[in-house]
Amino acid sequence: MLKVALTGGIGSGKTAVTEYLSRLGVPILDADDFSHQVTSRGEPAVDQIAEAFGPSVRTPQGDLDRTAMRSIVFTDETKRAELEAIVHPRVQERMNSAADAIDAPYIIFSIPLLIETGQADAFDRVVVIEAPQALRAERVAQRSGLSEEEFMAIDRSQATSAERHQAADEIINNDGTLPSLHAMVDALHQHLLQLASATTPVNNKD
């Protein structure tokens, strides 16, 4: 089974791509979903985060206060790295465990912070979804109401386009219509199916 990582900056359209690939029958493992799992009430990571950042990041009910955490980590690189050191290893472990139970020609690991967490070399292929910054900011504002300042804070915390391109095997420029995006994803899907049938995955890149 070919292991394919998919990444891109905030608002680039990763979800639109993975939703369409899922409709094509491709298994999708989303790091954001697993991140919510490992930071849900009762998980050991929540206790560790509260110990590291203080009791104010946990609600009276024992949940992680995600809004409070975002306000902390997006303005402090050191604290963000501290949070990632707690969360990301657990996310990787659960994603890999889930992948082991899947039988398919290829599987998509959707990982927004693929480059930032140094995971690119763990995959057979890396797909980058790209879009201009202004367009990404507009999409995020429409989707979640984030201000331009909030968008820029998140965008600055992520890898640059140049860094993502350096790791990419495939790049999809999502700056057009949804039908045009779907056409590009159709072509990518066929390409990955051909690679999966013709090669033996090595789970790392030369």
Q: Show pLDDT as tens, one digit a residue, over the chain (206 residues).
A: 999 999 999 999 999 999 999 999 999 999 999 999 999 999 999 999 999 999 889 998 889 998 888 888 877 888 988 999 999 999 999 999 999 999 999 999 999 999 988 999 999 999 999 999 999 999 999 988 888 888 888 888 889 999 999 999 999 999 999 999 999 999 999 999 999 988 654 454 44
CATH 3.40.50.300 in the chain, residue ranges:
1-27+105-206, 31-101
Question: 3-state DSSP call for residue 117?
Answer: coil
CATH label, 1-27+105-206, candidates 3.40.50.2300, 3.40.50.300, 1.10.20.140, 3.40.220.10: 3.40.50.300
- pLDDT value for 206: 47
pTM of the prediction? 0.88
Q: What are phi and psi of 67, to 5 degrees?
A: -65, -45
| Displacement of CA 68 from its chain's centroid (Å) | 21
pLDDT (0 to 100) of residue 94: 95
The SS3 call for residue 197 is helix
CA distances, 135 to each of 57, 74, 123, 151, 179 (Å): 32, 21, 29, 12, 17
| H-only helix segments in the chain | 14-23, 31-38, 44-53, 66-73, 77-100, 133-144, 148-157, 161-167, 178-198
The H or E element that residue 129 is part of is strand 125-130
The CATH code of domain 31-101 reads 3.40.50.300
